[in-house]
Structure 1
Amino acid sequence: MRTQQGALSGLKILDLTHSLAGPFCAQLLADHGADVIKVESLDGDFFRKNGPFAPEDQERHFGGLFQTCNRNKRGIAIDLKTTEGKYILLELVKQADGLIENFRSGVLERLGIGYDVLKAINPRLVYTTIRGFGDDVGGESPYKHWPAFDIVAQAMGGWMGATGPDADHPMKVGAGAGDTISGMFGAIGTVIALYHAKNTGVGQHVDIAMVDSILALSETVVSQYSYRGVSARPVGNGIPGLAPFDTFQASDGVIAIAAPHNPQFHLLCQLLGCPELIEKPEYANEQLRWDHYQQLNADLERYTRQYTKQALIEMLSGRVPFSPIFTGEDIFKDAHFAARGMLQEVEHPGCATPKKITGIPVKLSETPGSIRTRAPKLGEHTVGILHDLGWDDAKIQELQAKGILKIAS
């Protein structure tokens, strides 16, 4: 029977993360029904201050980036540097199934609330960390204490060295893949460990490194060096060994075509009106087409330039792997993303109209995920979360007066 609660309904996860990687990890669990409590300092996750902000938003509780990776969560703001603040966290840990954090290594240990302390009070706790170069569980990196952002993970994990127009101009991919990919691996690892804890009652430390996560998806970099001793080099928008597989100029913009296998290549040439390319000896098979990919791309582009993007859509779509290069505006207008629910409206504090954020890509037939609530204001659910612990209003107000809690107005 189809349910709207989500497959992870009943799980309680504490989210002590900031920026993008950790919040995205926790959000993936929240999307599928977990009760995720975002635990912030009294100043809040610094991503709150990052835009984009809508022109009419004068309140600025948080920007679009924060909204994108913190939906479906409840929020509490605590000063964890105080004895009372740490006590609140420990009380929450007693009831939690998992905790996710992405501070620099050793931060929570110095506060006296590291994993060893937490597992002593809740042996079934799954404790997930996402750091630039990981923790000690998976092997102590010599770079363990280095700070990292997305570009660092992409640079060191193999992507930038193989991405760009040429070796002198390495480039990162446009989105924050170093964060979101490590967040996805963090969510997968957390669910795996939660399944084990359910069966055994024993929790564990899930150790995710951002650079490891990028390397795990650097299949061409690893395979080329492992099998041939060759370091992958940038080849523009192509993939080594596959041609045609690139971007091409139309008369009014740019398109992408991927037709490396013989049947695809032959059909592409026929549709574009250049069947003579099929007969050229240097394009006779997949390896030869890759060996001569630059000339092949130039030959094909002489034909794609003769057509508009719309004409190419009508000519190629559904027949060979092809796409126009979509902008944000194109995505918001496209029928696919509308049909798949990949742009969802949420209320945004300070804005008169809802804003759209990305939808849920994992589609489940019986227990679909859902976007139930917007991202929380700082301390928005502090009172309710402490009520869940059995605390009364007088005690909560006392802690607020002492500057240990923040309660959103």
Structure 2
Amino acid sequence: MSEANLPDDSAMALRGVRVLDLSRVLAGPWCTQTLADLGADVVKVERPPKGGHPGGDDTRGWGPPYLKDHDGRDSGEAAYYLGANRNKRSIAVDIASPQGQVLIRELALRADVLVENYKVGDLARYGLDAQTLLALNPRLVFCSVTGFGQTGPYRDRAGYDYAVQGLGGLMSVTGETDALPGGGPQKVGVAVADLFTGMYATVAILAALRHRDATGRGQVVDMALLDTQVAMLANLGSNYLCTGVAPRRMGNAHQNIVPYQVFQASDGHLIVAVGNDSQFVKFCELLGLPELPLDPRYATNSQRVRHRDELVPRLAERVAARPRQHWLDAMEAAKVPGGAINDLAEVFDDPQVRHREMVVPMDHPLSDRLRVVASPIKLSETPVAYRLPPPLLGQHTDEVLAELGHAPDTIAAWRKDGVIA
């Protein structure tokens, strides 16, 4: 998308909000991408190439796959990085250098929000910690994203989504039961601890901005992957707290609802998601088993949960006798919830996904092939806009430093000294 064709951002909800993004990988960038989608000016700070290290957000090199350039060759921009960094401007600044620290403080003085995911205490070594920056800019919302938070016995540990999924209990309830082939703990297919933390961080920042606008005071937001992972156990966490019994892995079945799981049809799998007793009656009718809801063991969901081991095999036998599409059509007609299990090619070709415009093409300096997954946020008055493609490393360094009032020759000298790139 060329500058001349950039959409007017005057109707965007976060227009005028300045975000200084000192985060990398996923949780922090996911948060700042959401803020950017809503109109915030996000300046992503990355490390310059140095000592053989290519510099930049680590995810720039997390491939293949990579974006194909204009000639169809790998561009060096990893798909992983592209998925979490649109609508941002990139500057490359060495914060380990005294001058680099001065530049970050200058940016923090102008910022409304700062997001960082350094290890606890790391930024204090550079004079860029929350206490120091809030003293300089009391209106700043300073959001730290770490594995375990700023306090507690694990505060100094590095945090990784995979480890937190295990430590936080998610893998204990994800995967097939031990008694079946392939049984055992499984991680979720995407980094949900990171992604949920990014979304919770976004909510917290918006709440802090509302408080700031009312009082003039910024604050510190302390986000931890482990806290988020424990919170997102949701009904399963509540199940344990109410009973003292740890939920077990149940594969594709639901802990609290029956039948709510994957079934095998004659030619593939489908999901059945019966959420109440009337839907169960309809499901049994289309299976040709109208007597089941009359059985006291199956008449209510609570009874079906208690007798799932008897009920589910009877349902599964009927489902297995017909093709998947037969059941999907029948369930749609009867308004019984469920659906197909699509791979990603099928997802992005789905008519509903296409109608909702969940894929957005964007011009990119290296490629005319960039497509990104759209934001799911649909706002009638302040819609999301796709203004800037994921930036190249340091693409906007000169632009941003010029906005701070620095002259071109000064910027050139800093680049020669390795302070910036």
- Fold conserved between structures, TM > 0.5: yes
Q: Is the 8 A contact 1:59 1:350 kept in 2?
A: no
- 1:391 counterpart residue number: 406
Give the one of 155, 163, 181 matched to 2:174. Answer: 163
Residue 392 of structure 1 deviates from its aligned partner by: 1.6
Give the one of 18, 37, 40 matched to 1:34. Answer: 40
The answer to whether the aligner puts 1:119 opposite 2:134 as a matched pair is yes
Give the one of 324, 337, 345 matched to 1:321. Answer: 337
Q: Is the 8 A contact 1:343 1:358 kept in 2?
A: yes
Which secondary structure state, in structure 2, belongs to the residue aligned with residue 220 of structure 1?
helix
CA displacement 1:137-181 (0-9 Å, x = unmatched): xxx221111112111222222211112112561112111101000
Q: Is the 8 A contact 1:162 1:232 kept in 2?
A: yes
- 2:363 counterpart residue number: 347
Distance 1:124 1:334, change over 3 A: same
TM-score, normalising length from structure 2?
0.91
Residue 280 of structure 1 deviates from its aligned partner by: 3.5
Q: Is the 8 A contact 2:67 2:76 kept in 1?
A: no
Partners of 1:346 and 1:169 in 2: CA distance: 41
TM-score, normalising length from structure 1?
0.94
Partners of 1:249 and 1:157 in 2: CA distance: 31
Which secondary structure state, in structure 2, belongs to the residue aligned with residue 246 of structure 1?
strand
Paired residue type of 1:339: H
Equivalent runs, 1:177-326 vs 2, <5 Å = 177-317=192-332, 319-326=335-342
CA displacement 1:165-198 (0-9 Å, x = unmatched): 1256111211110100000011111111111111
The answer to whether the aligner puts 1:337 opposite 2:360 as a matched pair is no
Q: Is the 8 A contact 1:61 1:378 kept in 2?
A: no
Distance 1:3 1:399, change over 3 A: closer
Partners of 2:271 and 2:10 in 1: CA distance: 38
The answer to whether the aligner puts 1:154 opposite 2:174 as a matched pair is no
Using the aligned pairs only, state the percent identity: 36
Which secondary structure state, in structure 1, belongs to the residue aligned with residue 16 of structure 2?
coil
Q: Is the 8 A contact 2:26 2:195 kept in 1?
A: yes
The answer to whether the aligner puts 1:21 opposite 2:27 as a matched pair is yes
Partners of 1:223 and 1:78 in 2: CA distance: 45
Which secondary structure state, in structure 1, belongs to the residue aligned with residue 297 of structure 2?
helix
Q: Is the 8 A contact 1:6 1:369 kept in 2?
A: yes
Structure 1 residue runs of 5 or longer lacking an equivalent are: none
CA displacement 1:194-223 (0-9 Å, x = unmatched): 111111111110000101111111123322
Partners of 2:307 and 2:399 in 1: CA distance: 65
Distance 1:405 1:3, change over 3 A: closer
Q: CA RMSD in A?
A: 1.7
- 2:153 counterpart residue number: 142
Which secondary structure state, in structure 2, belongs to the residue aligned with residue 75 of structure 1?
strand
Q: Is the 8 A contact 1:38 1:75 kept in 2?
A: yes
Q: Is the 8 A contact 1:179 1:210 kept in 2?
A: yes
Q: Is the 8 A contact 2:147 2:226 kept in 1?
A: yes
Q: Is the 8 A contact 2:66 2:74 kept in 1?
A: no
- 1:49 counterpart residue number: 61
Which secondary structure state, in structure 1, belongs to the residue aligned with residue 383 of structure 2?
coil
Partners of 1:295 and 1:262 in 2: CA distance: 17
Partners of 1:278 and 1:225 in 2: CA distance: 29
Residue 400 of structure 1 deviates from its aligned partner by: 0.7
Which secondary structure state, in structure 1, belongs to the residue aligned with residue 262 of structure 2?
strand
Partners of 1:70 and 1:3 in 2: CA distance: 18
Q: Is the 8 A contact 2:358 2:373 kept in 1?
A: yes
Which secondary structure state, in structure 2, belongs to the residue aligned with residue 368 of structure 1?
coil
- 1:74 counterpart residue number: 89
Paired residue type of 2:46: E
Partners of 1:184 and 1:336 in 2: CA distance: 24
Residue 262 of structure 1 deviates from its aligned partner by: 1.1
The answer to whether the aligner puts 1:91 opposite 2:97 as a matched pair is no
Which secondary structure state, in structure 2, belongs to the residue aligned with residue 374 of structure 1?
coil
Q: Is the 8 A contact 1:267 1:320 kept in 2?
A: yes
The more displaced of 385-394 and 154-163 is: 154-163
Structure 2 residue runs of 5 or longer lacking an equivalent are: 1-7, 49-54
Paired residue type of 1:39: V
Q: Is the 8 A contact 1:61 1:349 kept in 2?
A: no
Residue 55 of structure 1 deviates from its aligned partner by: 5.8
- 2:5 counterpart residue number: none
Distance 1:349 1:305, change over 3 A: farther
